[in-house]
Each structure stands twice: as structure tokens, then as C-alpha cells.
Structure 1
Amino acid sequence: MADAPAVRGGRKDSSGGKQSEKRTGPVTFYRQVVAELRKVVWPTREQLGTYFVVVMVFVLIMIALVSALDLALGKLAFEVFTGADDI
């Protein structure tokens, strides 16, 4: 178990030596970010509108559900702790 790569040390490159821990400079980082953003598939205006409507409907349904549960459980707690006289 002592021979496991995680125990022996850091990563090694293909030549067998230890990999240098050189940091990426800001210019290289910026270029890499721009290159990755060019790969992103951006939604069309119609898709964005559709996604917006779907998310808003879902949020409104969840607001209604949570509000109804809050109202029902609040009334139940009020009845339990104030002692319903009509039972």
C-alpha cells in the first residue's frame, strides 16, 4: 500500500520525472477563458424567452404551494395550541 502513487508523491509527466508546478499567467488564463466561452452554445432569443416563462411558472407554483402549506400548518398549530373548544 505504501507504493500507491498517492502515497509516493505528486504527479509525474510522461517522461517519468516530477511535473513542474508552474503557474498559469494572467494573459494565458484570459486566453483560455475566452477560448472556453467560444465553445459555449448560447440559447437563441426564443429559447431564452421560453426558459424564462418555464422558470417563472415553476417559481409561482412553488410559491403557491409553500404559501398554502404555511397557511394550513399555521392554522393547525393555532388550533392545537389555543385549544379548540368546539371538539
Structure 2
Amino acid sequence: MDQDEVRGDVVAAGSYSLGDKKLGFFGRIALFFRQVISELRKVVTPTRKELVKFTLVVLVFVVIVMALVYGLDWLFGTATHYVFGVPS
């Protein structure tokens, strides 16, 4: 557990305060990796049921957007042929 979490402090993503001293190049890199690992521990893996549900939602959304794009393409194509005519 991070010392800031124990005290209940909120630390901004871009800030780094270990005391009030400036960190060097390698210190900032090490702090970055510590923060990444800390955030990765908060990740929750979805269950199989959730994963299937999320996948179906995405697929349905993609099909709807494809149908919308197809419909607009057909509409504008038809309008273009109507306005400019078909060359002989």
C-alpha cells in the first residue's frame, strides 16, 4: 500500500512528491513504473459471461454503424446519379 493511500491524500497523475524533492531522470522513470504497477493492481478481469455480453454489444454496434454507413453511401450515390445523370 502506498504511503499516500494510508494518509488518504490524493495525488495527481502528473505529480510526484516524495517529500518535496525533485526526482532525477531515473527516479521519475522508477516512479512511473511504480504508478503503472499500482494501477494494474486495480484492474478487474471480466467474467466469461460479462466478456460474451460485451463482445456481443460491440458486434451489434458495429453492424448498426455498418448499416448506417451503407445506407448513407447508397443515398448519396443515388442522389449523385440523379443530379449528374449516368454518362452514355
**Normalising by the residue count of structure 2, what TM-score does the alignment of the two structures yield?**
0.61
Q: Deviations over 1:20-71 (max 9, x none)?
A: 3314354443233222111122211211111011010110011011101111
Residue in 2 that maps onto 1:10: none
Q: What is the aligned residue count?
A: 67
1:51 and 1:76 map into 2 onto residues whose CA distance is 37
- Pick from 49, 56, 59 the counterpart of residue 56 of structure 1: 59
Q: Percent identity?
A: 42
Greater relative contact order (Cα 8 A, min sep 6): structure 1 or 2? 2
- Pick from 39, 42, 49 the counterpart of residue 45 of structure 2: 42
- Please tell me whether residue 80 in structure 1 is matched to residue 83 in structure 2: yes
Structure 1 alignment gaps of length 5 or more: 1-12, 14-18
RMSD: 2.5
Question: 58-67 vs 33-42, which deviates more?
Answer: 33-42
Secondary structure at 1:39 match in 2: coil
**Normalising by the residue count of structure 1, what TM-score does the alignment of the two structures yield?**
0.62
Residue in 2 that maps onto 1:20: 21
Residue in 2 that maps onto 1:70: 73
2:48 and 2:29 map into 1 onto residues whose CA distance is 33
